[in-house]
Amino acid sequence: MRVNLAVPFSEKDDAKRKGARWDAARKTWYIENVDDVGAFRKWIPALAGWHPALANPKKKRRKHLAPEKSRITMPQHSDPLYCGAAPPWD
């Protein structure tokens, strides 16, 4: 059975030494038909609690906007028939 690994670039040599293989098409490290996955535990995303945002800690992470700043509001008009197709002064 194939298991994809989340191996940081700095640890690629260690993973290769332990038996991991590089899949160039998918650009990921993997193991296949390994009896003891304990050596690869820290690189198995489901077992290590790995998250894609942790893959490159030097990258700037996008700050999420507060809910009140991310809402888009439309101007309210006193004219109930105004549909936004033309400015109310036309």
pLDDT in tens, 56-67: 555 555 555 555
pLDDT in tens, 29-83: 999 988 888 888 888 887 766 555 555 555 555 555 555 555 566 666 666 565 6
pLDDT in tens, 12-32: 999 999 999 999 999 999 999
**How far is CA 3 from its chain centroid?**
19
Model confidence, pTM: 0.52
Q: What residues are paired with 32 via a beta bridge? A: 2
pLDDT at res. 61: 54
Cα 49-41-9 angle, rounded to 5 deg: 80
Q: How confident is the model at residue 10 (pLDDT cuts 50, 70, 90)?
A: very high
Q: Where in the chain are the domains?
A: 2-53
